[in-house]
Structures are given as structure tokens and as C-alpha cells.
Amino acid sequence: MFTFVGVSDSTGHQVYRIGGGKCVKVDPRYDLRRHSPAGFNWGYNGSGPAQLALAILADVTGDAEATLQLYQRFKLAVISDLPREGFVLHQHEVEAWLIGNLALMTFDDDAIELGEEP
């Protein structure tokens, strides 16, 4: 299990992934979508929170398609409500949100056929 920690200070807004004896900065995942060249933010509905929502879902799911389908909803439901001064968000909280929102995803019906290995 791991935890995301957001720190807001005079240098800006940093987000770290802590777990397994490591602490690393979260990758903003500009390769998927570039909302905020200035980086992460939280506690409101904007481009910085969108970038953070995208980065966290990509980190937790490892699935670009699922991330792109759900990150805006995750931003509105979770990231925009985080305290502006900083936050702690646990992996299990993100996973619980994902489980509750899987019905919002669309799937390619041709991608997997019943009775066959994916």
C-alpha cells in the first residue's frame, strides 16, 4: 500500500508517492494530457487539479484508457475537495472511488470475447 502526500509551500505544490520504503515525486503524466504546465494543484476545480487527478489515477490503475475516461470525474469528486494547505490520500481511498465509478467507463465490445483469453 502507498499514500499520496501533497505539500503546498513557497516553492509551489509538490505531490509525493510514499510506500514500500520509497518517497518519489508523482509523474504529472504529460504524455497522456497536458492540462497544467505549471504543475499540480488541488482544492478547487481547475487545470492543476485536473493534472493531479490524471497523474494519481494513472499511477494507481496503470491503465491510460481508464485514466482518460475517469480523471475529470475524480477531479470533481476528490481532488477539488482536498485541503489547499496539503493532503494525504491513501491508495485504498483511490481504489474505493474507482470501484464505485467503474460503471461510468465505456468498453470496446470487440476487445474481449467470452471464452477466450484476453
State residue 95's pLDDT score. 95
Overall number of domains in the chain: 1
Task: Using alpha carbons only, give the angle 108, 114, 118 rounded to the nearest 5 degrees.
Answer: 65
State residue 103's pLDDT score. 73
Residue 116 lies in a domain: no
Residue 94 lies in a domain: yes
Domain that holds residue 10: 3-103
**pLDDT tens for residues 31-51?**
999 999 889 999 999 999 999
Question: Across residues 54-83, what is the average pLDDT?
Answer: 96
Burial of residue 28, with CB atoms counted within 10 A of its CB: 0-12 exposed, 13-18 middle, 19 or more buried: buried
Q: In the predicted model, what is the mean pLDDT of the chain?
A: 89
